[in-house]
Structure formats: structure tokens, C-alpha cells
Structure 1
């Protein structure tokens, strides 16, 4: 061990575990499990477990419209209030959303479901902007793929456990319709745990990585200048080119929800809620491992991963077109593991498999263009805001009775093809051999002065972006 390694080892050893990167990721993952994880579990039932998807789809359209606006704003606001409080605010709306679905299931009351969607749309903007910045910014650059996969796993574990609960409560329901109301109670209780878990997060300037380096934090002087920085970034050439990819990355989700509700029994939907998240876990670790592979040039990693994602998505949408042509003549209602179930369910499985990989890939791409946590918050706010805008349109499309699945498939397919060339231009501009290695950062205090107590041993250099 060299002298420098010994110094860095001693620095890390003196810091408590609750200030370490793994603990921070565990906190973020815990909130992800209890809040959006349980939300995804409900979504995995198709239409939030309701008998008819249209009112729920309309509520979700409202949710994502607010989400799209507040996610972009939250990227600036979270830098002022701190990511811990941004994460905590983000956890508040999810149990209200679950309660809204419960009342709609129990008494067909739609106003409270709309209210819950509004609250969740606002708070989710804070949540996703904060959490994405934590997952990308807290780990060292060479570990981002791995920690992104861990985060996606925690997020997927919510639907897995929630799906297991749902499956146990609804296993005997062999017909179409709504799930039992007890299902929602369990989810709401779990969603309420997100807020106290979020408050365990450490401020970025107190977090130490295993190599002894610090998280880079540079705040703007005011909220107004933060908002100006977000606006400038949103108008930049790179972000404009990535708009189609951001917009389409989660566009498939509402289609999957309506697909399940239209063609599967309640217990088949419960099975999907339980099993489908494993697809996201598998793809997260596959792509995360590949994107962290330092033996491959960074531009080559970016191009190979993107081509793989596009080819899988194209194949799955073609598969969906073939099946929908059959279903138009004689709409089925598939029970689990009975004739035709596997082929129809495969659309849901592979859209989730590839869709999760695509979202993780976009986070990784964003992380290649900045090492500053504040800038990452701006980037992720825009990314999630545009994803939410896409889902707003997608959920609105699913909110009408007798929705035409061919329209949804065609729009998904078309925007996917549209995003290929602009995204290729962005990833072709990656001219570094490997990720930026952050070896030293002097953090700025609230008043703009240097915090001498946070400095590392001399001799290292501040990283620069290629």
C-alpha cells in the first residue's frame, strides 16, 4: 500500500459508516422501495388494481403533468434546501396517492383519487430530482453503474414484495375486475415509512467515498440563479438532442398498465406485479456491469449499450403489433399459465426489461457530463421532467374507453426511432477514454468561503470535464 493509499484509508476509517456512500445509497433505496416501489406495485396490477382503467389513467395523467413541471423546478429548489429535505418532501405524496386509489376501489370516489394524484405529482418531482442526483453524484464515477443497479433493484423490490402481498390476497380471483381493498391498506402503511427513512440521509458535504474523495458541491448564489442555470442547461444543444430519448424512456408504462387490464385476469395481473420487476433487476445489473467496465472505451460502452437497448425495444414492439392484430378480432382474458398467457405476458416482461435498462443508461449518460452534484440535480430534474411529460401524454392516451392499442404502439415505436440519431450524436461526442476520476474537491461553505476542515491531503488535482 502506498503512502497516499494509507492516508486515504485512514481518512475513510475515521468516518462513521452512516456517512459512507453505501449507507446513503441504502437510505435512498429504502425510500425508493417504500414510495415509488409501492406505487409501481399498484401500477403493476394494471390501472392501480381497479376494474376499469380509464379514471385511474386520467388521474395518472394529472399526476405526471404536475410531476413534469415540479421535477424541473425541484432540481433548483433541492440545491437550496438540501437533498435530504427534497427526498423527505418527495415521500409525502405517495401514501396520499395510495389512499386515493383505496377510496376509488371502495366507494368509487374519484375526487380524493384526483387529490392524491395532485399531491403525489408535486412531491414526486422533489423525490426523483433528489434521488437521481444522490444515486449518480454520491458514488465515485467508476461505481455509478453498480449503484444505479442497486437503486433499480430496491425500486423493483417494492413491486416484488407488494406483488407477493397482492398475489396472496388475490390468488383465488380468476375473473377480471378490481383487487381486494385490503391490498391497498398494506401498501399505504409501507408508503408511510418513506418519510422517516429519508431523514436519515447525510448532507453531501459530510459524505466520504471509499477512495477518500469528497462529493463535489457548488451551489448557485440564490434560487433565482439556480433557476437560470436550469433554463440555460435545458436550452443547451446536448439536452435538446436528448429530449426524444428522455421523453420516450418511460412512455411504454401506461400502455403496459392498460394491456394488463384489458387482457388478463386479476390474479394474472397480481402475478405480473410480483414477477415482472425481476426483469428490471436483471437488466439493471447487466447494463450496470457493462457500463462500469473500465477495459472498454467509454464511447464504445455507450454505443454498444444503446444499440442493444434499441434492438430489444424494436423487437418487442413488433411482437406487440403481431399480438394486437390477433386480439382485435377476439379480445382474450388470460388466466395465468393457460393457453396464450406466455406470449401475451412476454410483451410486459420485455418492455420492463429493456425500459429499465434504457432509463439507467440515460442516468449514466447524464453522469458523464458533470461531476458537480448541483449540476447533476439540474440534469436529473430535466431528465425526469421530460420523462414525466412523456408519461402525461401516454396516460392521457389511455384515459379513454375503448382505447386503440395500435395508436399507443405506433407512437412508442415512432418516437423510439426518432430518438436514435440525436442520442447517437450525443454519445459519439464522448471523447474520454474512461470516467472522470475525482481526486480532490474543496467544498464551498454557505457564505462562499472555503471550508478548510473538509480539505483532503495536498497533491491531488481538481477534475475537469473533457
Structure 2
């Protein structure tokens, strides 16, 4: 990997910094339960509004990013994070939660576009042998945002038992605005050149809004997108329970901040460890995926089994918790060690699940424009699941029912993930197809095994021999 400004590594580092400063800070707030508020009701409703619009604009995000590019769309999207965080200053001073809920809906628009752009850069820019490593690099830097964001409320509210102060929210707003400025240094996919001289995409001209809209609609009939629906729906669903009904329910405010540090730290280590397996060159890609899937599946089920043991001890949270002995403080080592360790492992297996999800999508195609649509579809369905999850929390569904629902969704998602991994080859399917099915400009590349591939544009016909040598420049 070479660190040139137009290299995949440089661009992944830039989008990682952007997500460190924006979604990383958002995760730090959400990880406290109720976005740092003692009463989580407003935060839960804001998150429901957020993920509802997130769902819509993620699915549309692939087309938006393809038509408008990654630079200015990402920068504008980052500003919506600052609007959302700033709304809590108003809430602290007035107790009026309506602006926060509206800001949540606005953030959903920006987040849908930002995460689509992020997925394109992280999944389609690297070569085949580097995908696991690049996903790991992003996940480590991104979760350093959650780690850093967890340190701030933990330190500032160490002696406080109330909601986060205005100064914490203002500091987060400043950091999120810095993320918007960082996004202005991103370059278009067509300018990205890998170390071997190949490009992330050969599409030179802007995409039409009409064509992108049609391609997005076709995703609803795509075999692989439909197979991965359970994975997409589940991948953020458990955050609502873990952040609010676990961390936010039975720990003191400063311990929730401390738990956040451990949660995001575990994600950093988990992501790095998994990348070593996913890029292990002496094994085929299918074999690597199968082993990663087995490790993740067993670990996730063990963690939820332990969570069930904990959940049997309480039925309500925050100041009215019926957890034996009341709220847990991290200084009470005998009471805190087990519950805090469990939260650490929740973060670890979450990182494995998210990394494998992105890796699976990365095996489907290498073209940046197709990836934008796939990632947008994935994030859209993911956001729908998260919206449902946060609304369940806002409606005060019994904690045990939430736990059972989360665990059941996870189990349902595993078979289709495993099936998709079993179909994985050492190169994305469209790599092979493009060498055999070359058409004139704006022609369609035929799909195989039910694949639904998008048009690939060529400036002039190329011979199969040329394409075989330069296949990474095409897909």
C-alpha cells in the first residue's frame, strides 16, 4: 500500500477521519444511552425519525453519490451531524424535544448519503487482496471516534450524576464541523489509482439521475440483495437494546461513559484480528469467509446467552432500576466486573458482524458505481431495522421481549450470510463476466446465477486479452 493523495489508502484514511469526527461522535453520544440524557424518551424518538429518513436516503444514496460525487455530498452530510448534536443544547435549556426529533430526521438524510459514500470508498477502492485490511483500517479509525468521544463525557461528568452539560455537546458540534471540512479533500472515484496502476472505475462522465433511479429500483429484484435482507435489517438492530436497555439502564452515567471506552476499544481490536483472517493469502476467499462466519456466529450467540442471564435480573432501568443493588458504578469492582466485561464483548462481536457484512458486499463487485447502489441498499435496510429498534425502546416494550427479538433476528440472518459466502470466488463475479461479455458504450453486462449487474461504460471496445490484463481498471 502506497500513501499517495489519489491512492485508495489515502482516500480510505480521509473518509475514516471524516467518520471519526461525525458518526464516531454520534456513536459516543448514543452509546451513553439517551444521547447523554437521563430520560431516553426524546433520544429514542429522535433516533426513530433519524433511521426512518436514513432508510430512504440510503437506498437513494447510491444514485445521489453517483450523480453528485463524493466530495460535496459528504461534506454537506457531515453538517447534519452538527445540527443534531447542537439540538441537545436547546433541549437542555428548554426541555423541548421537538427540535431534536426534527434534527434527527435531518441527520437521517445526511447519514444515508455519508455512509453510502463511505462504503464506496472502503469496499471498491482497494484491490481484492486488500479488502479485509482496508475495512479494518476504516473500522479502527472510525471507532477511535467513539473511543475519544467516550473519554470526554466520562471525564467531564466524572462527578456528575445528571445529563451531559452544554459544553460537551458544543465540543462535539465543533468536531463534527471539522469532519465536514475534512470531507472536502476527497477525490472522485475516477481519479483513484491503485498501486498497480488500475482504477476504481472507468466511468468518466456524470451519471444521469434517471438511469441511477432505474438502477436503484432494480436492486429490489437483485438475488443477492434479497438474500442479504436479514443481515442488513439485523446489523444495527441490536444497538437500541445494547445502548439503552443494557448500558443506559443499569449503570451510572460515568460508568456508561467508561463502558463506551471499552465498547469501542473492543471494536478496534476485533476488527484488526478479523482482517488478518479475511486477507490470509494462503487460503481461498471462500475458506476465509467460512471460518470468519463460524467464529462470529458462535461468539455472537454466546454473548446473547450471557446477556439473557443478565436480563433475568432486572425489568426496568435508569434511576428506577430494579437491578439488585441499584445502578452499577465501575468503582464497585465486585458488582461491575461481569456486566462491564459483557459490554466489552458486545462491542467485539458487533465489529465482527459489521466487518463480515461489508466484506460479503465487497465480494459481489469491484465497480465503484455498482458498489454505491449495493451499499446504499444495505444501509437503507439496516436503517429500517434500527428505526424499528429505537421505536420499540421508545414504546417501552419489556426488556426481555426486546432481547428475545434481537437474538431471534440474529439467528435468522446467519443462514443467508453463510449461503452467500459459500458462493464466493477469488474474484468478484463481474470480473470474469467483463472479460467475456464486452459491449459498446452504455451496453449491459449479462448476469449469471441470477446476478443483476449494472451497465458498465467503455469509451471504445477492448479485446478480451486487454481486459484480462486490466480487469481491475474496469470493475
Give the TM-score taking structure 1 as reference length: 0.89
Q: Distance in 2 between matches of 1:435 and 1:77?
A: 24
Aligned match of 2:302: 315
Moved segments of 4+, more than 3 Å: 217-221, 433-442, 463-466
CA shift for structure 1 position 465: 11
CA RMSD of aligned residues (A): 2.8
Match of 1:340 in 2: 335
Determine the structure 1 residue equivalent to 2:187. 202
Residue 391 (structure 2) pairs with residue 396 (structure 1): yes
Question: Residue in 2 aligned with 1:366?
Answer: 361
Q: Is the 8 A contact 1:42 1:273 kept in 2?
A: no
Indicate if the aligned counterparts of 1:247 and 1:389 stay in contact, CA closer than 8 A: yes
Q: Which residue of 2 aligns with 1:419?
A: 413
Q: How big is the shift at 1:436?
A: 8.0
Distance in 2, Cα, partners of 1:115 & 1:451? 49
For the 8 Å contact 2:365–2:428, the answer to whether it is kept is no
Indicate if the aligned counterparts of 1:46 and 1:261 stay in contact, CA closer than 8 A: yes
Mapped partners of 1:273, 1:414: distance in 2: 25
* Pairwise CA distance, 1:137: 1.2
Q: Distance in 2 between matches of 1:49 and 1:108?
A: 14
Do 1:128 and 1:384's aligned partners in 2 also have CA atoms closer than 8 Å?
Answer: yes
* TM-fit CA distance, 1:435: 6.4
- Give the conservation status (yes or no) of the 8 Å contact 1:217–1:373: no
List runs of 5+ in structure 2 lacking aligned partners. Answer: 316-320, 443-456
How far, CA to CA, are the matches of 1:342 and 1:106 in structure 2? Answer: 36
- Give the equivalent residue in structure 2 for 1:193: 178
CA distance in 2 between partners of 1:236 and 1:449 (Å): 24
Q: 1:21 aligns to what? A: 8
Evaluate the alpha carbon distance shift between residue 153 and residue 126 of structure 1 in structure 2; reply closer, same or farther with a 3 A threshold: same
The counterpart of 2:242, out of the listed 249, 256, 263, is: 256
Matches within 5 A, 1:85-164: 85-164=72-151
> What is the TM-score of this pair, normalised by structure 2?
0.87
Which string of whole-angstrom CA distances, capped at 9 and with x for unpartnered residues, describes residues 136-155 of structure 1? 11111211111111111111
C-alpha separation between the residues in 2 aligned to 1:164 and 1:371?
37
Report the equivalent of 1:460: 469
How many pairs were matched up?
Answer: 443
Q: Is 1:180 equivalent to 2:165 in the alignment?
A: yes
1:329-375 Cα shifts (integer Å, max 9, x gaps) = 93230011413212222332222211121111111111111111100
**CA deviation vs aligned residue, 1:301-338 (integer Å, no higher than 9, x gap):** 11111121111111111111111112249323001141
Distance of aligned partners of 1:93 and 1:464 in 2 relative to their CA distance in 1, 3 Å threshold:
closer
* Equivalent residue, structure 2, for 1:330: 322
Does 2:18 align with 1:34?
no
Give distance in 1, aligned partners of 2:195 and 2:174.
35
* Partner of residue 267, structure 2: 280
Secondary structure in structure 2 of the residue aligned to 1:326: coil
Residue 234 (str. 1) matches residue 220 (str. 2): yes
Contact 1:141 1:437 in 2 (8 A): no
- Following the alignment from structure 1 to structure 2, what is the Cα–Cα distance between the partners of residues 300 and 17? 32
Q: Residue 459 of structure 2: SS of its match in structure 1?
A: coil
Distance in 2 (alpha carbons) for counterparts of 1:465 and 1:80: 19
- Structure 1 residue runs without a partner (length 5+): 1-8
Q: Is the 8 A contact 2:199 2:474 kept in 1?
A: no
Within the candidate set 450, 454, 459, 1:450 is matched to 459
CA deviation after TM superposition for structure 1 residue 184, in Å:
0.8
CA contact (8 A) 2:58 2:376 kept: yes
Q: 1:5 aligns to what? A: none
